Structure 1
Amino acid sequence: MSTPISASSAGSAATAAGAPAPAAAWPITLRDVTVTYSSGTRALRGITLSIAPGEMVSVVGLSGSGKSTLIRTINGLVPVTSGSVVVGDQDVSQLSGRGLRELRGSIGMIFQGFNLAERTSVLSNVLVGRFAHSPAWRTLLGLARAEDTRIAAAALESVGMLERAWHRAGALSGGQKQRVAIARALAQEPSVMLADEPVASLDPPTAHSVMGDLRRINDQRGLTVLVNLHLMDLARQYTTRMIGLREGELVFDGPAAEATDADFETIYGRPVQGRDVLGKAV
Structure 2
Amino acid sequence: MHANDSARAEAGTTPASASWPVTLDRVSVTYPGGTAALRGVSLEIPAGEMVSVVGLSGSGKSTLIRTINGLVPATSGSVRVGPHTVTGLSGRRLRELRGHVGMIFQGFNLAERVDVYRNTLVGRFARQGAVRALFGIASAEDRRIALEALEAVGMLEKVWTRAGSLSGGQKQRVAIARALSQQPSVMLADEPVASLDPPTAHAVMAELERINVERGLTVLTNLHLMDLARDYTTRMIGLRAGEIVYDGPAADATDADFEEIYGRRIQPQDRLGRSA
- TM-score in terms of structure 1 length: 0.91
Q: Distance in 1 between matches of 2:25 and 2:109?
A: 30
Q: Distance in 2 between matches of 1:54 and 1:189?
A: 14
Q: Distance in 1 between matches of 2:103 and 2:55?
A: 19
Q: Distance in 2 between matches of 1:51 and 1:115?
A: 27
Offset of 1:211 from its aligned partner?
A: 0.1
Q: Secondary structure at the match of 2:228?
A: helix
Instruction: Report 1:17-32 matches (<5 A).
Output: 24-32=18-26
Instruction: Report 1:72-151 matches (<5 A).
Output: 72-151=66-145
Q: Distance in 1 between matches of 2:129 and 2:217?
A: 26
Partner residue, 2:28: 34
Partner residue, 2:149: 155
Question: Structure 1, residues 222-264: CA drift from partner, whole Å, max 9, x if none?
Answer: 0000000000000000000000000101100000000000000
Question: Structure 1, residues 4-46: CA drift from partner, whole Å, max 9, x if none?
Answer: xxxxxxxxxxxxxxxxxx6611110100000000021000000
Q: Distance in 2 between matches of 1:143 and 1:68?
A: 33
Correspondent of 1:49 among 29, 43, 46: 43
CA RMSD of aligned residues (A): 1.0
Q: Distance in 1 between matches of 2:275 and 2:145?
A: 31
Correspondent of 1:253 among 243, 247, 254: 247
Query: Percent of aligned positions with the same letter in both sequences?
Result: 74
Question: Structure 1, residues 87-109: CA drift from partner, whole Å, max 9, x if none?
Answer: 01211002111000000000000
Q: Secondary structure at the match of 1:76?
A: coil
Query: Would you say 1:65 and 2:53 are equivalent positions?
Result: no
Q: Is the 8 A contact 1:208 1:281 kept in 2?
A: no
Q: Distance in 2 between matches of 1:185 and 1:100?
A: 17
Q: Distance in 1 between matches of 2:26 and 2:133?
A: 38
Query: Would you say 1:192 and 2:191 are equivalent positions?
Result: no
Q: Is the 8 A contact 2:125 2:136 kept in 1?
A: no
Query: Would you say 1:208 and 2:202 are equivalent positions?
Result: yes
Offset of 1:281 from its aligned partner?
A: 5.8
Q: Distance in 2 between matches of 1:23 and 1:192?
A: 12
Q: Distance in 2 between matches of 1:138 and 1:238?
A: 37
The ranges of structure 1 where at least 4 consecutive aligned residues each deviate by more than 3 angstroms after the TM superposition are none
Partner residue, 1:17: none
Q: Which amino acid aligns with 1:132?
A: A
Offset of 1:144 from its aligned partner?
A: 1.3
Q: Distance in 1 between matches of 2:131 and 2:95?
A: 16
Q: Which amino acid aligns with 1:55?
A: E
Q: Is the 8 A contact 1:34 1:42 kept in 2?
A: yes
Q: Secondary structure at the match of 1:193?
A: strand
Structure 2 unaligned residues grouped into runs of 5+? 1-15
Offset of 1:133 from its aligned partner?
A: 2.8
Q: Distance in 2 between matches of 1:167 and 1:176?
A: 11
Q: Is the 8 A contact 2:78 2:87 kept in 1?
A: yes
Q: Distance in 1 between matches of 2:275 and 2:43?
A: 32
Q: Is the 8 A contact 2:49 2:218 kept in 1?
A: yes
Question: Structure 1, residues 102-123: CA drift from partner, whole Å, max 9, x if none?
Answer: 0000000000000001111111
Q: Secondary structure at the match of 1:71?
A: helix
Offset of 1:207 from its aligned partner?
A: 0.2
